[in-house]
Amino acid sequence: MTLPDALVRDADSKILFYILDGLGGTTDPERGLTELQAAAAPVIDELARRSETGLMVPVLPGITPGSGPAHFALFGYDPVESNIGRGVLEAAGIGFPLQDGDIAIRVNFATVDEEGKVVDRRAGRIPTEECERLCDILAAVVNLGDVEVFIRPVKEHRAAIVLRSRGEELADGVTDTDPQQVGVPPLELVAEHPGAEPVAAMLRRLLEQAREPLAAAGEPAYYPLLRGIARHRVYPSMQERYGLRSLAVATYPMYKGISRLLGMDVHEGAKDLGDQLAAVASEWDSYDFFFVHYKATDARGEDGDFEAKVAAIEEADAALPGFLDLGPDVVVVTADHSTPALMKAHSGHSVPVLLSSPLARHSGVEHFDELSCARYGTLGTFPARQLMGLVLMHAGRLQKFGA
């Protein structure tokens, strides 16, 4: 028996996940504050007072998650067991209809000199149209016999390749060819275990077929660098697990991709929180669960810009009333992981979480931040993957366990 899945029952309640990517921070030594402590976020603060609050550990204490495992955990999926490769994320991000067992690969079109040494790992960030042209050239020349090959442009120099076998299962475990530096040739494809040798051999053949046509297509010559070679597996959907008709409203492809992997419907075309609110409002009656993803908190954290991250938090706060006015029964405001401006990167710190519902114990925090969630949190510190159980209970969507 898997909990909470086995206890799920239907209800009319609406759940809103307001995910501020990378929201968690750490103390800036000069200010003596985290970004959240420094922010003026009156809407979130007022909500937090009447909410359950706490701290969540995305994977394990100290483990810095990528976006994939961090979001999987938020939605109640084991982030370690269901860790997905970069290639799968990339292909899912552009809406490619992955099937169980597909091998997905992230491609960077680079440029190389006459000796085959990398000149520019991003080929000068070519326009997406040029990327589309290179994908067409590849598609015309690559042939791996019985194994189907799909080649899709993503954005600028980035593309995705998917291998699909109708016969023998394909295994991943093949190393990247991106040397992560210029002036050296791409790395060899290495099978990390004997079962991965067939895929390594296919990709060597693909690179051999690609070399001359791509070299002829540009000056200096184009050449594809392969990364994140990963096997796709199908996960049980949010609908199957929780009975939730789920809609993702994100502005970045990666988060749409993650949502698709979990069977959510994905809204297309939203460019900012205003668009996202409009999308949620117009779909309000058609879904039970809304995943609103806000990217700027993470992006400004990655920039190392403390003040800009504070401003991003304040922007998200100012946009929240529109969503609250729709009348969700359960509102969660939290992050997938921390991105402290001090570190200019994701980190392994815990993330503050707020869960609002008519059933909430009012935590009484005056200001929603990492420290007040530690001090006054009614939920304590808990693994992010346990959040969905709390959410479903507060949404009236779980039966009692046991007699």
Site for its own copies in 172-201 (CB under 8 A): none
Q: Most distant CA pair in the chain: distance in Å?
A: 74
166 binds its own copies (CB under 8 A): no
Which is closer to its own copies, CB of 83 or CB of 175?
A: 83
Q: List, as one string, the DSSP characters of 307-322.
A: HHHHHHHHHHHHHHHH
Which residue do the tokens 């000149």 mark?
Answer: 119
Which is closer to its own copies, CB of 35 or CB of 130?
A: 35
274 binds its own copies (CB under 8 A): no
Span near its own copies by CB under 8 A; candidates 60-68, 108-116, 149-157, 294-302: 60-68
Which is closer to its own copies, CB of 70 or CB of 98?
A: 70
Write the CA distances from 314 to 85, 251, 306, 356, integer angstroms: 33, 18, 13, 19
CA angle (313 as vertex; 308, 317 as ends), nearest 5: 145
Record the tokens describing residue 26, joined without a space.
């750490």
Record the tokens describing residue 41, joined without a space.
């976020």
With CB under 8 A as the contact rule, the residue among 23, 74, 84, 112 that binds its own copies is: 84
Which is closer to its own copies, CB of 12 or CB of 219?
A: 12
Strands of 328-380, DSSP E: 330-334, 351-356
With CB under 8 A as the contact rule, the residue among 18, 19, 39, 86 that binds its own copies is: 86
Record the tokens describing residue 162, joined without a space.
């998917």
Beta partners for 103? 163, 231
Record the tokens describing residue 344, joined without a space.
């200019």
Which is closer to its own copies, CB of 221 or CB of 331?
A: 331
Record the tokens describing residue 168, joined without a space.
């023998």
With CB under 8 A as the contact rule, the residue among 15, 19, 85, 242 that binds its own copies is: 85
Which is closer to its own copies, CB of 60 or CB of 141?
A: 60
Span near its own copies by CB under 8 A; candidates 121-129, 259-267, 301-309, 369-377: 369-377
Record the tokens describing residue 166, joined without a space.
């109708």
Which is closer to its own copies, CB of 279 or CB of 330?
A: 330
Outline where 227-295 has alpha helix (H).
238-242, 253-261, 273-282
Instruction: Give the integer Cα–Cα distance in Å for 295 and 22.
Output: 8
CB-CB contact of 290 with 333 (8 Å): no
Residues from 14 through 33 that contact its own copies (CB under 8 A): 26-27, 29, 32
Residues from 292 through 331 that contact its own copies (CB under 8 A): none
With CB under 8 A as the contact rule, the residue among 190, 307, 321, 401 that binds its own copies is: 401
Span near its own copies by CB under 8 A; candidates 15-23, 168-176, 269-277, 358-366: 358-366
- Beta carbon of residue 6, minimum distance to its own copies (angstroms, whole number): 10
Residues from 198 through 237 that contact its own copies (CB under 8 A): 228
Q: CA quadruple 309, 341, 305, 254: dihedral positive or negative?
A: negative
Q: What is the H or E stretch that residue 36 is in?
A: helix 35-38
With CB under 8 A as the contact rule, the residue among 218, 220, 304, 389 that binds its own copies is: 389
CB-CB contact of 333 with 44 (8 Å): yes
Which is closer to its own copies, CB of 57 or CB of 134?
A: 57
- Beta carbon of residue 72, minimum distance to its own copies (angstroms, whole number): 9
- Each residue 87-126 as x (binds its own copies by CB under 8 A) or -, in order, gives --x-------------------------------------
CB-CB contact of 258 with 266 (8 Å): no
Which is closer to its own copies, CB of 212 or CB of 303?
A: 303
